[in-house]
Structure formats: C-alpha cells, structure tokens
C-alpha cells in the first residue's frame, strides 16, 4: 500500500509517496507557477504510483472542508490570493 502527501506552499509543492510503514520511497519538489500547471504536474507525479491509496494535503492556509459551505474547497484566512482549489483526478 502506498500513501501520498502534498505540502502545498506559496513557492513550491513538495510531493512524496511512502509505504504503510511511513517510509518515504520517492519525493519531488514542484515550483508553483499557475494553479493549472502546478496541479497538473502534481497529478502527473502521483499517476506513476499505481497502488496509491490516499493523499494527505497540508496547505499554506486552512482549507474549507464543509461541503455545505459556499467557500467549500477554498483556502481561507491567508494573506495570499484566495480561490477554489481545483480538483483533478489521479485515476
């Protein structure tokens, strides 16, 4: 079983994949550019791992997770630009 992680920062995304023993088996740093380009590179990275079971996300601001909120999927309370988080399928 493989587990993915994303540390989404303002200047870079750090993506990693580890096993069930929490040992990192691969990682990559992706420089942030446009949201579309950065997220596509992130998706492309994770697509190479066929046994990926889940991905955890740590972001530079809190993410609104309540589905009934009008701000669902947005990064909130940050001094940087805010907007909806784009979702792309890894499958």
Q: How many alpha carbons fall within 13 Å on the CB side of residue 36?
A: 0
pLDDT of residue 76: 78
* pLDDT, averaged across the chain: 86
Query: pLDDT class for 21, splitting at 50, 70, 90?
Result: very high
The fold of 1-91 is: Nucleotidyltransferase; domain 5 (3.30.420)
d(CA 17, CA 85): 21
Domain residue ranges of the chain, discontinuous segments joined by +? 1-91
| 67-90 pLDDT per residue, tens | 999 988 777 776 665 555 555 565
The pTM of the full predicted model, rounded to 2 decimals, is 0.73
pLDDT of residue 59: 83
């Amino acid at each position: 079983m493989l587990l993915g992680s994303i540390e989404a920062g303002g200047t870079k995304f750090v993506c990693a994949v580890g096993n069930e023993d929490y040992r990192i088996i691969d990682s990559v740093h992706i420089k942030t550019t446009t949201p579309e380009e950065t997220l596509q590179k992130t998706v492309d990275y994770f697509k190479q791992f066929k046994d990926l079971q889940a991905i955890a996300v740590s972001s530079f601001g809190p993410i609104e997770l309540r589905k009934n909120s009008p701000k669902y999927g947005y990064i909130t309370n940050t001094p940087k630009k805010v907007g909806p988080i784009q979702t792309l399928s890894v499958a």
